[in-house]
């Protein structure tokens, strides 16, 4: 089942359950998917990778907004962002732990034969392909930087 069809069904069930927090998150996902579809053209369908990137972008936006609201002591807005983030994350693949990311990056470093910080580009390009949707790019970058400096 396509992500958009699943979202439509979940919106209906959230409406029936009167779950406003979930409904807000689902509507944000639907709007982002529709926007991404219209950017490609009216007859273009989104691939799974494109849908995943849309979800990751939404999750990143919610995390950043939540951090700002928390710094400004706006708990009401922080709570809204966190509710929407939990809905969005439920459609993303399970994220890898810090140890799993580190092990994957070590393996990538061995594959590419990287020997120092100058090889960061090679490592990151392969890591972004292999870990897409499974780990945050910022985390992968930090781990790769530490491992390449050793």
Question: Residues 89-96: contacts with CB within 8 Å, 24+ apart?
Answer: 89/59, 91/3, 91/6, 91/7, 91/29, 91/55, 92/52, 92/55, 92/56, 92/59, 92/133, 93/52, 93/133, 93/134, 94/134, 95/134, 95/135, 95/136, 96/131, 96/134, 96/135
Confidence of residue 62 (pLDDT cuts 50, 70, 90): very high
Last residue within a domain, chosen from 89, 106, 136: 89
What CATH number is attached to the domain comprising 67?
Answer: 1.10.1510.10
Q: What pLDDT band is residue 30 in, cutting at 50, 70 and 90?
A: very high
What pLDDT does 3 receive?
85
Distances (CA, A) of 41 to 8, 78, 138: 21, 35, 31
Task: Tell me how many domains the chain contains.
Answer: 2
Q: 40, 55, 89: which is the final residue of a domain?
A: 89
Q: Which two tokens stand for residue 87?
A: 């809905």
> Do 106 and 40 sit in the same domain of this protein?
no
3-state secondary structure of 116: coil
One domain for residues 74 and 134: no
Lowest-confidence pick of 14-28, 66-80, 123-137: 123-137
Domain that holds residue 82: 3-89
Same domain for 107 and 84: no
- Same domain for 103 and 80, yes or no, is no
Of the pLDDT bands very low, low, confident and very high (cuts 50, 70, 90), residue 94 is confident
Percent over 70 (pLDDT), the chain: 97
Look at residue 83 in the predicted model and tell me its pLDDT: 95
Give the CA count within 13 Å in the CB-facing half-sphere of 78.
Answer: 9
Local confidence band at 43 (pLDDT 50, 70, 90 cut-offs): low
Q: What does the pLDDT read at residue 64?
A: 94
Residues 22 and 48 in one domain: yes
CATH number at residue 103: 1.10.10.410
In the prediction, which pLDDT does 49 show? 80
Residue 86's SS3 state is helix
Quickly tell me which residue has 């958009």 as its tokens. Answer: 4
Neighbouring residues of 23: CB distance < 8 A, sequence distance ≥ 6:
11, 14, 15
pLDDT tens string 110-123: 888 878 888 888 88
Q: Tell me, yes or no, whether 16 and 59 share the same domain.
A: yes
């Amino acid at each position: 089942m396509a992500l958009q069809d699943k979202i439509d069904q979940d919106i209906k069930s959230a409406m029936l359950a009167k779950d406003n927090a979930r409904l807000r998150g689902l509507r944000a996902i639907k709007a982002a998917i529709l926007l991404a579809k219209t950017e490609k053209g009216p007859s273009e369908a989104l691939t799974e990778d494109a849908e995943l990137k849309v979800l990751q972008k939404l999750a990143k936006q919610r995390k950043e907004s939540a951090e700002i609201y928390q710094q400004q002591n706006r708990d009401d807005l922080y709570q809204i962002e966190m509710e929407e983030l939990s809905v969005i994350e439920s459609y993303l693949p399970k994220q890898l732990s810090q140890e799993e990311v580190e092990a994957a990056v070590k393996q990538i470093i061995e594959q590419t034969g990287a020997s120092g910080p100058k090889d960061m580009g090679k490592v990151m390009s392969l890591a972004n392909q292999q870990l897409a949707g499974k780990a945050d790019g910022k985390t992968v970058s930090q781990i790769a930087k530490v491992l390449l400096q050793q």
